[in-house]
Amino acid sequence: MTLVVRDALMDGRRVGVRCEGGTIAAIGPEVSPAPGDETIEAGGAHLVPPLVNGHTHAAMTLFRGSGGDLPLMPWLEEKIWPVEAKLDDEDVYWGARLACAEMVRSGTTRFWDMYWHPGATARAVTDAGLRAAIGAPLFDLHGSHEQLREMAERGLDALSGYGPEIAPALAPHAIYTVSEESLRWIAELSAERDLPVQIHLSETEKEVQDCLAAHGERPAFYLDRLGLLSERTVLAHGVWLDPDELALIAERSATVVTNPVANMKLAVGGVFPHPAARAAGVAVGLGTDGAGSNDSLDLLADLKTFALVQKHAAADPTAIDAAEAWAVATGARAPRLGAAALEPSAPADFLLLRPDAPELGIGDLTADLVYAASGAVVDTTVVGGEVLMRGGQVPGLEEIVAHAAERAGRLGL
């Protein structure tokens, strides 16, 4: 099926987009529909690349609004982990479907997920028409190295057999929940099978102090010594990384995903040092983290918080500008995360913004998107040439919300 968008606005000029076989066949002023093409009349809507959410726990939409005013460890130990022990595939499927619907609605088309029952998330992503790198969370804090290996293999098995829209990943939870032996094994497995690794790193200052006390080195150096800091590594948070760690991360071509809203909600007490990270050459992406600790999946809204908290922490309004913030949110500052490109032969993933969005009517579009907009400005979301949302309406949303609420109720949430 050929999809043709006509009369969209890109970088100030009127363009059309022809999508064939899931990719952009042509883009430019000369593109117009042929008889029989599925056509979207954009009516002067802005055409922009979609956002990439670099760190999520998608099915945690089920935990939204539950125990959200506690510190990190009591929140995990009392509210999250006991309920997670009861999750089944259908819970995760509907929680992730809800997350996907919210992402489609707010302009995110690719995300990096770490959650239980990863096969159920993969099924949800596929049914929703999105793209994701997915890993089962790996812990051996209360278990053995052998159990962790089994968990990892089971997770990878559950993620096999999907199309290119699902990228299997390894997801050791953190350095304080996974043993040195297991982290080394994960590093070897990642290298052997060329699998990306997602891990929480340097989220709290306590994590850094504990790492120094236990291993005599800071978290990034610890990971590096275990072979786990490479171009395949995606580090979530990085709030407490120091300049030497940033230089090392840049040298190893690893990626850091900052999650400013979740960090502020859990009051981690610091801010990811973005200006220093960029100066060091670190690849950086933006994430929401799970809906249990954000509680939103609207990355376009978090983009404002990202830019503002960077300016505020640096006591310098020039610490980051709108173009840089937008580039981070669309994945353009982190090649590993999978940014979409609006050019021929790239996957046909893009957004059309509401032509009548009042927030976008005056001034520079990028500045408006970063400082004034939220996901509500997204009118149309297209992934692989498939229209997932048109006119701000996600098909089947009511049913998805009802199913997710029912699963949350079953879990006592």
Distance of CA 247 to the CA centre of its chain: 24
Residue nearest to Zn ion (CB): 289
Task: CB nearer to Zn ion: give 112 or 222.
Answer: 112
Chain centroid to CA 204: 20
Q: How near is the Cβ of 57 to Zn ion at its closest, in Å?
A: 6
- Of 287 and 385, nearer to Zn ion (C-beta) is 287
Which one-letter amino acid corresponds to residue 374?
A: S
User: Cβ 262 to Zn ion, closest distance in Å?
Assistant: 7
Supply the minimum distance, in Å, between the C-beta of residue 290 and Zn ion.
6
Distance CA 126, CA 231 (A): 26
289 near Zn ion (CB under 5 A) = yes
CA distance 65 to 150: 33
Gap between the Cα atoms of 201 and 125, Å rounded: 26
Q: How far is the CB of 151 from Zn ion (least distance, A)?
A: 17
Q: Which stretch binds Zn ion (CB under 5 A): 59-67, 226-234, 286-294, 308-316?
A: 286-294
Which tokens sit at 239?
């709030």
Min dist CB 200 to Zn ion, Å, is 5
Residue partners of 105: CB distance under 8 A and separation at least 6: 375, 378, 381, 389, 392, 394, 397
- Distance set, CA 135 to CA 155, 172, 268, 276, 355 (Å): 7, 9, 25, 29, 37
Nearer of residues 137 and 273 to Zn ion, judged by Cβ: 137
Piece of 32-40, 116-124, 189-197, 289-297 that binds Zn ion (CB under 5 A): 289-297
Q: Quick one: which segment of 210-218, 264-272, 285-293, 307-315 binds Zn ion (CB under 5 A)?
A: 285-293
| Comparison of 48 and 186: residue with beta carbon closer to Zn ion | 186
Q: Specify the residue, 47 or 51, whose C-beta has the smaller distance to Zn ion.
A: 51
**113 lines the binding site for Zn ion (CB under 5 A):** no
Q: Which of 204, 152, 159 is nearest to 178 (CA)?
A: 152
* Closer residue to Zn ion (CB): 228 or 236: 236
**Minimal distance, residue 261 CB to Zn ion, in Å:** 12
Q: Which stretch binds Zn ion (CB under 5 A): 10-18, 124-132, 283-291, 400-408?
A: 283-291
Q: In the bound complex, what is the minimum distance in angstroms from residue 289's beta carbon to Zn ion?
A: 5
**Closest distance to Zn ion from the beta carbon of 115 (Å):** 9
DSSP H helices, 362-396, are: 365-371
84 binds Zn ion (CB under 5 A): no
Whole-number Å distance between alpha carbons of 389 and 355: 15
Per-residue x/- mask for Zn ion, residues 207 to 236, rule CB under 5 A? ------------------------------
Interacting span for Zn ion (CB under 5 A) from 7-15, 69-77, 287-295, 388-396: 287-295
Nearer to Zn ion, 15 or 299 (CB): 299
Closest by alpha carbon to 331, among 199, 237, 234, 261? 234
Within residues 139-158, the interface with Zn ion by CB under 5 A covers none
User: Please, which residue, 76 or 329, has the CB nearer to Zn ion?
Assistant: 76
CA dist., res. 248 & res. 24, Å (int):
37
Ranges of H-type helices in 113-267: 118-128, 145-158, 180-193, 205-215, 219-225, 243-251, 260-265
Number of residues that bind Zn ion (CB under 5 A): 1
Residue among 262 and 369 whose Cβ is closer to Zn ion: 262
Asked if residues 241 and 258 have their Cβ atoms less than 8 Å apart, the reply is no
CB contact at 8 A, 377 and 359 = yes
Stretch that binds Zn ion, among 191-199, 281-289, 294-302, 306-314 (CB under 5 A): 281-289
Long-range contacts, stretch 151-155, CB < 8 angstroms, 24+ apart: 152/186, 152/189, 155/118
56 or 381: CB nearest Zn ion:
56
Alpha-carbon Rg of the chain, whole angstroms? 21
Sites of contact with Zn ion (CB under 5 A): 289
